[in-house]
Structure 1
Amino acid sequence: MPKLPFIQRVSDLYDQFQKHDAKQTDRLLRYRNIEPDSAQFLSMLIRIQHSKNILEIGTSTGHSTLWLAEAAQQTQGKVTTLEIEPARSQQAAMFAQELGVNQYVDFWIGDAADYLSESIEVFDLILLDAERSFYSGYWEDLKRLIKPHGGILIVDNVISHATEVKPFLEIIRHDSRFMSTTIALGAGLFMVVSQ
């Protein structure tokens, strides 16, 4: 279980991010961080799975990154987190350092499609929380990067933005190598497990 100072600070950061988002009329200027119950669920999954190699696609300002890294600290794992906007990645890195989990995170700045196409690593757990219009294009690389026989992909916002992610989820549902289900936490999580 994460220590109380960690939980309190991450909660305060989430409130700060929410206040920022409430003032933005342009969706792309919002931080759009994952909801606390979804982040805590991911932390629990990492512990249950004893995940060592974790990939996050979409760092933003690092709310989910902090939860992933805190859990990776417990499993002696590592989080690689991808963000296209340098300023957001730098903010997330600053918070990770403040909370003492920075040694468990590699911050990668650039287009996620480039990273995914070039990576040869296999990941125990992948969190996909980025621009939804690109998800279907990521699938061929994601399939290759998800650990066989029990690797997990979590896709965020599948209830709140159901129409946008529907084509992507249909692709996954028709792939017999993966089991999947929707979990009604936060904005909706789609959990995919390799068979």
Structure 2
Amino acid sequence: MNKELAVFLKELENFGVANDQQMKDKSKRMRNVTPETGRFLSFIATTTQARNILEIGTSNGYSTLWLAESVSENDGHVTTLEFLASKAELAKSNFEKAKMSKWIDLIVMNASEYIHKVESNTVDMIFLDSDRKEYVEWWGDLSRILKKNGLIVVDNVISHSNELQDFYILVSNDENYKTIKLPIESGLLLLTKK
């Protein structure tokens, strides 16, 4: 990672923590992944040579930049979905400041609408960090768009295990996937398509 991006990510990290400590309205919190989770996302995307990544839940773009850093090395692309226009504007500004916009496509849209239109077997990696109660409904399309040997990473699988219980049961019983939970920060669930 270049030094300029590393410094900017640290600034975003500090902003997210300060913002979330003072903000009572949950919709205005950034709720960024931790730096350790960001590094893991970049590492796993690089290791799997993911070129077409879909992120659901942009917020201010912190995790997106970690993913974009990995695809910038292999001429790949990150498509990130954000439902709130205010957060999307903040993310867009951050992508420009980080000089990473050319590897990122930011879409302000309901995720279920977007993923329903994506071609089958076209996505290498999906990062889910959004409205957890929607994941079960999205599963059919998420599974359809993911390539064979593709990877899905789900955040908050330990910290919000109650909210993700139905989703975890669903994917754990899907014979087309191998799953593993990792105790990294809030907990990550990794699924790979056989």
Map 1:24-173 → 2, pairs under 5 A: 24-120=23-119, 122-148=122-148, 150-173=149-172
Cα contact 1:36–1:186 (8 A) shared by 2: no
Render the CA deviation track for 1:76-133: whole Å, top value 9, x for unaligned. Answer: 1000000011121111111111111100000110100100111115211100000111
Match of 1:179 in 2: 178
So what's the TM-score if we normalise by structure 2? Answer: 0.96
CA distance in 2, matches of 1:12, 1:48: 26
CA distance in 1, matches of 2:41, 2:136: 22
Which residue identity is paired with 1:44?
A: F
1:31 shift after superposition: 1.2
1:29 shift after superposition: 2.2
CA distance in 2, matches of 1:32, 1:13: 11
Which residue identity is paired with 2:40?
A: F
1:47 shift after superposition: 1.0
Question: Would the alpha carbon gap of residues 87 and 28 (structure 1) be closer, same or farther in structure 2, given more than 3 Å must change?
Answer: closer
Match of 2:189 in 1: 190
CA distance in 1, matches of 2:87, 2:116: 23
SS for the counterpart of 1:20 is: helix
SS for the counterpart of 1:41 is: helix
SS for the counterpart of 1:25 is: coil
Cα contact 1:127–1:155 (8 A) shared by 2: yes
% same residue: 31
So what's the TM-score if we normalise by structure 1? Answer: 0.96
Q: Which runs of 5+ in 2 are unaligned?
A: none
Aligned residues: 193
Q: Which runs of 5+ in 1 are unaligned?
A: none
Which residue identity is paired with 2:73?
A: Q
SS for the counterpart of 2:123 is: coil
Match of 1:3 in 2: 2
SS for the counterpart of 1:34 is: coil
CA distance in 1, matches of 2:84, 2:71: 24
SS for the counterpart of 2:138 is: helix
Which residue identity is paired with 1:98?
A: K
1:27 shift after superposition: 2.1
SS for the counterpart of 1:179 is: strand
1:13 shift after superposition: 0.8
Cα contact 1:14–1:63 (8 A) shared by 2: yes
Let me know the Cα RMSD of the aligned residues: 1.0
SS for the counterpart of 2:54 is: strand
4+ long deviations beyond 3 Å: none
SS for the counterpart of 1:76 is: coil
Greater displacement, 102-111 / 26-35: 26-35
